[in-house]
Amino acid sequence: MTIYNAFRIHRDQDGHRVGVEELEVTAPDAGQVLIRVAYSSVNYKDALAGTGRGRILATFPLVGGIDAAGIVDASADGRFTPGDPVLVTGYGLSYDHDGGYAEYLRVPGDWVIPMPSGLDPRNAMILGTAGFTAALAIHRMQINDQRPEMGPVLVTGATGGVGSIAVDILEHLGYEPVAVSGKQELYGWLRELGAARTLGRDELPGGQRPLEKAVWGGAVDTVGGELLARITRTIKPWGNIASIGLAGGFALDTTVMPFILRGASLLGIDSVTVPHQLRTRLWARLATDWRPPHLERILTTTVVLEELPGVFDAMLAGKTHGRVLVDLGNS
């Protein structure tokens, strides 16, 4: 019998509580893979789930963590062999299935991505769901004909995981990313990642008219709410807005004018239910031509399971930036 450590989330008559617990390893059922997890990461969704401030989990108790990367320990799926490096993000992790904040993770083989050549479990989890989401946003914008010559691409929430990686990838691909953040002390860091300019939220052009002066060739928005509404009014003709987050609110008060008079497109980005073939293709690109050049600079903190509650609180308070890596001690 093998015992392992896992960060578990409970909600019952005693309220919301979390902590590191010992669990017993269970052999994979038919079609499943058992992964010895080396690294995970902390995303905004993980912080909401871990603090109970967001209705993220569908069942309790559950191991947290929407990301995991490591080595196959045992497999009941013919596509995977013990020793294979793999990663898993999204699907039901930390929703209705135990997640990646554990030394072992048992998941359906259909959820598992073979580690692309050029990545290992550590740098795959520096990317994690945040990096995959940024890549998905840029992919959807390019499918919809977003091109560098259309003008600067606005990136909101730029000091967060998705935003910082989007800035890095966009600049690498020849776009002109303009980073929006309320953290002026990190403007230099954003420019090091490739931001052509940095703006505070109150510096964004545009007022309340249905259409304002067209400024942005496109946008990657991680904030939502009024900030997203303002972007719709200032997007250039045929520009694309990738909508990812709702830290600024889930309501969107805008008009149809940018869409019917400028041909603007609002693209919803859902990183959880991406088809396996596209998921595999995007991870391959993140390992090669779309790999962020400043990945190690984007990593700002590495923690162990016991430190997660403090990181969750700091993230929701806006006191973190870049990416937070979780070391499971199996590397």
Cα 158 from Cα 194, distance rounded (Å): 11
User: Do both 177 and 87 map to the same domain?
Assistant: no
Query: Of 223, 253, 268, which closes a domain?
Result: 268
Say if 279 falls within a structural domain: no
| 319 and 243 within one domain | no
In this structure, is the dihedral angle defined by the CA atoms of residues 115, 321, 62 and 250, taken in order, positive or negative? negative
Q: Residue 13 — very low, low, confident or very high, per pLDDT cuts 50/70/90?
A: confident
Within-domain flag for 217 = yes
pLDDT in tens, 285-325: 999 999 999 999 999 999 999 999 999 999 999 999 999 99
Indicate if 136 and 254 belong to the same structural domain: yes
Q: pLDDT at residue 14 above 90?
A: no
Query: What pLDDT, on the 0 to 100 scale, is given for residue 57?
Result: 94
pLDDT for the residue numbered 271: 95
**Residues spanned by the domain of 71:** 3-115+294-327
What mean pLDDT is predicted for residues 116-144?
98
In the three-class reduction of DSSP (H, G, I as helix; E, B as strand; rest coil), residue 270 is classed as coil
What are 130's two structure tokens?
């945040």
Give which of 300, 292, 282, 321 is closest to 127, Cα–Cα: 292
The mean predicted confidence, pLDDT, of the chain is: 96
Q: In this predicted model, what pLDDT tens digit does every residue of 73-102 receive, in sequence order?
A: 999 999 999 999 999 999 999 999 999 999
Q: How far apart are CA 298 and CA 294, in angstroms?
A: 6
Predicted TM-score of the model (pTM):
0.96
For residue range 16-64, list pLDDT tens digits in order. 999 999 999 999 999 999 999 999 999 999 999 999 998 899 999 999 9
pLDDT digits (tens, 9 = 90+) for 149-185: 999 999 999 999 999 999 999 999 999 999 999 999 9
Number of domains in the chain: 2
Q: Is residue 288 part of a domain?
A: no
Question: What is d(CA 302, CA 190) in angstroms, rounded to the nearest whole number?
Answer: 20
Residue-wise pLDDT for 244-288, tens only, equals 988 888 999 999 999 999 999 999 999 999 999 999 999 999 999
The alpha carbon torsion through 312, 316, 317, 318 (nearest 10 deg) reads: 110
Q: Percent of the chain beyond pLDDT 90?
A: 93
Same domain, 205 and 156: yes
Residue 100 and residue 203 in one domain: no
CATH code assigned at 157: 3.40.50.720
Domain check: are 213 and 305 in the same one?
A: no
Tell whether 42 and 155 lie within a shared domain.
no
Last residue of a domain, one of 268, 286, 302: 268
Q: β-strand 113-114 against 265-268: which pairing, if any?
A: unpaired
Same domain, 94 and 23: yes
Could you give the C-alpha distances from 261 to 49, 141, 143, 270, 324, in angstroms and in order? Answer: 40, 19, 21, 27, 42
Specify whether 66 is located in the same domain as 111.
yes
Check whether residue 233 and residue 135 sit in a common domain. yes
Give the CATH number, domain containing residue 302. Answer: 3.90.180.10
Predicted confidence at residue 228, as pLDDT, reads 95
Instruction: Identify the residue with better confidence: 70 or 202.
Output: 70
Q: Are residues 263 and 172 in the same domain?
A: yes
Report how far Cα 82 is from the mean position of its chain's Cα atoms: 28
**Element (DSSP H or E) covering residue 258:** helix 257-261
User: For residues 119 and 97, what is the distance between their CA atoms, to the nearest angstrom?
Assistant: 26
Q: What percent of the chain has pLDDT over 70?
A: 100
Q: How far apart are CA 231 and CA 219, in angstroms?
A: 8
pLDDT in tens, 206-231: 888 999 999 999 999 999 999 999 99
**Considering the domain boundaries, does residue 260 fall inside one?**
yes
Judged against a pLDDT cut of 80, whether residue 331 lies above it is answered with no
